[in-house]
Amino acid sequence: MSTAVIQRRALEWLPALVVFALGIGLWQGLVAAFHVQEFLLPKPTVIARTFWEERGSLWHAGFYTFKEALGGFALGSGLGILAALLFAAFRPLGTAFMPFAVAANAVPIIAFAPIMNDWFGLLNPFSKMAIAAVLCFFPVLINTLRGLTSVDPRSIELMRSYAAGQGSLFRKVRIPSSLPHLFTGLKIASVLSMIGAIVGEYFGGPTDALGVTILNASSYTNFPVAWAGIVVASAFGILFYAAVALAERLATSWEPSRRDFRAE
Amino acid sequence: MASIAVEGPAQPRISAAAGWAKRVLLVLAGLAVFWGIWEGYRWIGERLGITWPFRVDEINMPHIHEMLWTLTKPLQPGGPALLTEEWHWALFTGKEALVGFLLGGAIGFVLAVVLAHSTVLRRGLLPYIVVSQTVPILAVAPMVVVGLGTKGVQPWVAVAVIAAYLTFFPVAVNTLRGLMSPDPRALELMRSYAADRRAVLWKLRLPASLPFVFSALKISATASVIGAIIGETPASIQNGLGGAIVNFNQYYSTAPERLWATNIVCAVLGLFFFAVVLIAERLVLKRAPEHVA
Amino acid sequence: MNAQASAVSLKGVSKSFRAGVTALTGIDLDVRPREFVSLIGPSGCGKSTLLRIIGDLIEPTTGTVEVNGKSAHQARLDHDYGIVFQEAVLYDWRTVAKNIVLPLELLRWDRGRRNARVKELLELVELEGFADHHPWQLSGGMQQRVSIARALSFDPALLLMDEPFGALDEMTRERLNMELLRIWEASGSTIVFVTHSIPEAVFLSTRVAVMSARPGRIAGIVEVDLPQPRGGRTREEPRFFELVTEVRERLAAGGADLVAEEPEVAEEAL
């Protein structure tokens, strides 16, 4: 990369860094000025220190919860993709089922977390995986199905002119063009799976799980630890999302880059 | 934009009423299928003694008619039917969700308009808006409730704030995408009219953003209900559905149907919010039909 | 404003883009009022860029541009021209009538005057029954007619058209050519028209400016002395074929068969 490009990239990120510095500075300043807040909202320096002191157990807890999220993500997304393929292959089934998938997505599925705990056991990580899986299933199904079925009719006519069968049509046209939609669904699912795992732990879980750690810390008014836990949870969430986004970049590098937010 | 030549508005092939009847039938059929699968699995599970992935018995899988039946029975002896209580809890939670939805939606919308007009602000704030989604705000819920409580704020308002937090992100991000969606030709056209930025916003960007806004509102409708329900749980707020879930979960083994019934009510609440946005979308939005092949 | 003054006057106009691409160089052109001038040339000759310079949508690197006796910038602010693109650029959320009335809303005409004008325009482009239709319900040719009606809504002295019929089939194209001439006659406006099609350029214009690429410049001007008003028969006259041939030869001489590399589309941020 030429220095000009590096300079331009750095300049693009400058405002974000400025905001970060301002934000942290403001937080630190305000908390110092209004002492009463301190027990609820500790100074960033306090949180950073706590984070460092507890880094071992926090990392362990975070990783435990992340594994639940990852398991649920894999299970839910996998099933969602399979269901989407099925519904794309057998259209009438798909059109009949779609309204239900959309409706199911509108239901607060997370309210079923306590039932999952009852089914699989509070301490069993699978109970949290199950909730995460259900949360991931519908967005991935809906988005992937949309991608598989919104193919340019001319592409289809082209394939028919080659006397290509349904299988080839699927493999050569539908699946590649559904990838952007699939990744949209996967990005949503990555965020939802972490939320599902943590909220699931809210209703009960082993003490070395992150959600339980945060909850216990805040009920014992140990807010620095609670906030440090939230930082860890966010970090895992961001990394997970970034990993999916990276996979998207690699898998759809052929697509004209669609920077969502750049001015035309 | 499609280039299909049509002489007049397209004639619907079935009348509107028949279309509705078809939809209702489809929903009923779907519910019947679900009921069949549930009861069927339970019946087979009990006969075969299935224990994986979970044990099939009357505690884990109450009959669906039992779940509905328990709504008609009183919670406390001599008290009103469970359904009446659920109704009040639903109203309470619904209020929190609605306030959160409106608040989060408004903030998200305004923020998007501001960001659409300032590249610097956009570059500075957008990363944090995206990151804010990964913060498990629900974990902060008890602290938010207690903290705002010391300022004399009622618990339900705190929960509404949590619901607002969850809804503001999809609205902000999607509205921004919509505001920036017009293609360069449309902007050139506006420039040829020497239109100022305000005119471009009102006549072009805002109308173009509506489909995006509605798709965000549909997500946000659900998110605000979720935020309200879950926000109540750690704060132990008793008058809403979240509190009911926590309570019924405690006594799950003695009356599992009550938890399931509450979940059904939660589902209905979520669907109701979603349906309202859907209807609003149908009324407001007139766009070219989507292409499906 | 001098009646004899040019409607459009370009002197020494050139345009280079940031990437070091020279799109146009040394453009001198005078368009008299009520003329119909076509710009024709191969891809990459800068004809669309030139049109946008006239419309003050792009700034020239050197040279002066005058429209209606003022700077191009002032002409744009004074709404002295209407523009039509190859895509109709209609808004899906507005009906046909509301699409046409958009510039009038921006110009703050009062409602009565707006509605009367829209009615006139719908009659002019022969789309009376379609006022309440939406753009996606119309064919490509009909959408372009709406786009033309919109460009004429505030009765500008100058009409800039960037390959407006390029996306249409030949028959629709010929029909719309006829309609455009009729509209030109009725409105008395000046038209600068960019096209790829030699017969279209000859049929419509009073003069054809032949452009060549690399760098973009005007290679020559062909005076079209076919009698007005032109009609279906005009295309069958011997003089028509002579003129088409002359334009074609000028294009070939200017290197029209070379493949252009410069991007035709404007890169400036808007």
Q: pLDDT for C202-215, tens place per residue? A: 999 999 999 988 88
Please tell me the number of Cα atoms within 13 Å of C249 on its side-chain side.
7
The reported pLDDT for the residue numbered C132 is 93
Q: Comparing C-alpha atoms, which of A190, A184, A187 is closest to residue A66?
A: A190
The amino acid at A187 = K
Number of A/B CB contacts below 8 angstroms equals 173
Q: Percentage of chain B surpassing pLDDT 90?
A: 36
The amino acid at C38 = S
Instruction: Tally Cβ neighbours within 10 Å of residue C268.
Output: 12
Classify residue C98 by burial, with Cβ atoms within 10 Å: 0-12, 13-18, 19+: middle
Please, what is the average pLDDT of chain A?
84
C175 touches chain B (CB under 8 A): no
Look at residue C1 and tell me whether its pLDDT is greater than 60.
no
Q: Kindly report the CA angle at B114 between B110 and B117, in degrees rounded to 5?
A: 145
Instruction: Tally Cβ neighbours within 10 Å of residue C68.
Output: 22
* Chains contacting B (3+ CB pairs below 8 angstroms): A, C
Q: pLDDT for A205-258, tens place per residue? A: 898 898 888 888 877 777 888 888 888 988 898 899 999 989 998 888 766 544
Look at residue B107 and tell me whether its pLDDT is greater than 90.
yes
Chain A residues with CB inside 8 Å of B187's CB? 264
User: Shortest Cα distance from B267 to chain A (angstroms)?
Assistant: 5
Which backbone phi and psi does B4 adopt, to 5 degrees?
-90, 130
Instruction: Tally Cβ neighbours within 10 Å of residue A171.
Output: 11
**What ipTM is given for this predicted complex?**
0.80
More confident residue, B83 or B130: B83
CB burial readout C193-210, b (16+ within 10 A) else e: bbbebbbbbbbbbbbbbb
Look at residue B3 and tell me whether its pLDDT is greater than 50.
no
* Cα–Cα distance for residue pair A10/C89, rounded to 1 Å: 36
Look at residue B290 and tell me whether its pLDDT is greater than 70.
no
- B3, C57: Cβ pair inside 8 Å? no
Chain A residues with CB inside 8 Å of B225's CB? 108
Taking CA–CA distances from B285, the nearest residue in chain C reads C93
Chain C residues with CB inside 8 Å of B6's CB? 137-138
Using DSSP, state whether C212 is helix, strand or coil.
strand
Q: Average the pLDDT over C232-257 and give the result.
A: 86
- C92, B184: Cβ pair inside 8 Å? no
User: Shortest Cα distance from B290 to chain A (angstroms)?
Assistant: 9
Taking CA–CA distances from B284, the nearest residue in chain C reads C93
Q: pLDDT for A177-213, tens place per residue? A: 889 899 989 998 998 899 889 888 888 889 889 888 8
**A11, A144, B42, B89, C48 from B274: Cα distances, Å:** 41, 21, 31, 19, 47
Q: pLDDT for A91-106, tens place per residue? A: 888 888 888 888 888 8
C268 touches chain B (CB under 8 A): no
**A231, C165, C194, C236 from C232: Cα distances, Å:** 76, 18, 22, 8
Look at residue B36 and tell me whether its pLDDT is greater than 50.
yes
Preferred mutation among C67, C71, C92, C154 to probe B, highest tally of B CBs within 10 A: C92
Tokens representing A27 are 């937080």
- C89, B189: Cβ pair inside 8 Å? yes
In this structure, what DSSP letter does residue A257 have?
P
A192 touches chain B (CB under 8 A): no
- B5, C142: Cβ pair inside 8 Å? yes
- B136, A211: Cβ pair inside 8 Å? yes
* Cα–Cα distance for residue pair C67/C63, rounded to 1 Å: 13
C143 touches chain B (CB under 8 A): yes
pLDDT bin (cut points 50, 70, 90) of residue B236 is low
pLDDT bin (cut points 50, 70, 90) of residue C261 is very low
pLDDT bin (cut points 50, 70, 90) of residue B88 is very high
Chain C residues with CB inside 8 Å of B1's CB? 88, 90, 92, 135-136, 143
Q: Average the pLDDT over A19-45 and give the result.
A: 74
Q: pLDDT for C86-113, tens place per residue? A: 889 999 889 999 999 999 999 989 999 9
Shortest CB distance from B286 goes to which of C79, C103, C134?
C134
Look at residue C258 and tell me whether its pLDDT is greater than 60.
no
The amino acid at C28 = D
Look at residue B58 and tell me whether its pLDDT is greater than 80.
yes
